């Protein structure tokens, strides 16, 4: 099919763009804005004009060299929302040019919705150029209409974190209304979405944090029980005493996972999507004696992404945004992410 553009433009207007790129390892301060060519969409691809993007922990890990398969220089960023600018040939895309869209950052999941294809799948922003730019090329199948009730900044906050939380709670844990979910380390993007989604689904929630301020924010979002793990080392025993815990969604690992196993009810489900506190040494007896299911997860399938957007379409759920930074202050934004001081998502506004 012929290429379709969202608006008239001269060749010179489409030739160059600003992109936030990493040229060397050394932390967030190594990020810089470059003037680079606008990418051209090929067969089956779409060019998206990015209006807002959002940071994830992986972006910081990449700047620190703590991520596999790093290839530099590279435009980082997995989350993005904007307008569909142009379609390459043979896309079969039903979204018209100029429509407001959000991007699924999971590339090449594969044919099995149960697990991604480890040989062909990847995440936008490494090794593929990502969303911290005025334009990005992605497979047309990864472009979805933006939920109407969300602003560009809110939509940009969704993709990676909300997809991970949705799959963890509903695809993997099969959360049901009336159950209780333990959410250790609330405050980051995924765990904040986990809290929002669990409450929206009719679950009871218990959250932990080392910050009283974050616990207050979580309470305002509907958390039923909160524990400061820095001042209450036996929080897992108190959480267990506060009522049966059916599901745990954890990204910490380490001692946190061992305590979660102790706290969960017989027949409970523990979903793990990260290990920020390192490897975990756990006792096997409570795992097999209580018939606990330990479920790994990462990102989500196209079906998960579509389900997550449907879940949010009503507008009843709004992403929690910590701060919105202009693209020129991206180093400050990434530094805040690295410090773990945020509550919710850190967003970049990508101006023309």
* pLDDT over threshold 70, residue 274: yes
Q: List beta partners, residue 33.
A: 20
Q: Which CATH class is domain 163-296?
A: alpha beta
In this predicted structure, which of 17-21, 124-128, 247-251, 316-320 has the lowest mean pLDDT?
A: 316-320
- Alpha carbons 263 and 182: distance in angstroms, whole number: 9
Number of other residues whose CB lies within 10 A of the CB of residue 136: 30
List the Cα angle 146/129/278 in 5-degree steps. Answer: 90
CATH number given to 4-158+319-349: 3.90.180.10
Q: In the predicted model, what is the mean pLDDT of residues 257-269? A: 95
Cis? peptide before 73, omega within 30° of 0? yes
Residue range 204-230, pLDDT digits in tens = 999 999 999 999 999 999 999 999 999
Residue range 163-213, pLDDT digits in tens = 999 999 999 999 999 999 999 999 999 999 999 999 999 999 999 999 999
DSSP letters for 221-233: TT-SEEEETTT-T
pLDDT in the model for residue 250:
96
Residue range 318-336, pLDDT digits in tens = 999 999 999 999 999 999 9
Number of other residues whose CB lies within 10 A of the CB of residue 213: 11
Residue range 109-150, pLDDT digits in tens = 999 999 999 999 999 999 999 999 999 999 999 999 999 999
Topology match between the domains 4-158+319-349 and 163-296: no
Domain limits, the chain: 4-158+319-349, 163-296
pLDDT in the model for residue 263:
95
Q: In the predicted model, what is the mean pLDDT of residues 263-271? A: 97
pTM confidence score: 0.93
């Amino acid at each position: 099919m012929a290429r379709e553009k969202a608006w008239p433009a001269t060749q010179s207007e489409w030739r160059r763009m600003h992109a936030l790129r990493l040229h060397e390892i050394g932390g967030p301060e190594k990020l810089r804005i470059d003037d680079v060519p606008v990418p051209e969409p090929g067969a089956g691809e779409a060019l998206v004009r990015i209006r807002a993007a959002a940071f994830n922990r992986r972006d910081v890990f990449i700047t620190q060299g703590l991520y596999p398969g790093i290839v530099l220089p590279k435009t980082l960023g997995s989350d993005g929302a904007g307008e569909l600018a142009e379609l390459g040939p043979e896309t079969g895309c039903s979204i018209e040019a100029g429509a407001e869209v959000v991007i699924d950052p999971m590339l090449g999941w594969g044919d099995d919705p149960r697990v991604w294809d480890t040989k062909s799948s990847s995440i936008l922003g490494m090794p593929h150029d990502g969303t911290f730019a005025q334009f990005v090329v992605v497979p047309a199948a990864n472009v979805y209409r933006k939920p109407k009730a969300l602003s560009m900044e809110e939509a940009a906050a969704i993709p990676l974190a909300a997809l991970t939380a949705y799959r963890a709670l509903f695809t993997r844990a099969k959360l049901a209304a009336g159950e209780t979910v333990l959410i250790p380390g609330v405050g980051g993007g995924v765990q904040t979405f986990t809290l929002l989604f669990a409450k929206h689904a009719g679950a009871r929630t218990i959250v932990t944090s080392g910050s009283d301020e974050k616990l207050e924010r979580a309470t305002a979002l509907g958390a039923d029980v909160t524990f400061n793990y820095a001042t209450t080392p036996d929080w897992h025993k108190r959480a267990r005493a506060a009522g049966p815990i059916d599901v745990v969604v954890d990204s910490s690992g380490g001692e946190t996972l061992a305590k979660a196993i102790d706290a969960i009810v017989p027949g409970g489900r523990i979903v793990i999507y990260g290990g920020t506190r390192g490897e975990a040494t756990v006792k096997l007896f409570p795992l097999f004696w209580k018939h606990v299911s330990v479920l790994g997860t990462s990102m989500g399938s196209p079906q998960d992404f579509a389900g997550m957007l449907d879940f949010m379409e009503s507008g009843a759920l709004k992403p929690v945004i910590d701060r919105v930074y202009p693209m020129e202050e991206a180093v400050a934004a990434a530094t805040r992410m690295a410090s773990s001081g945020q509550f919710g998502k850190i967003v970049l506004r990508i101006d023309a």
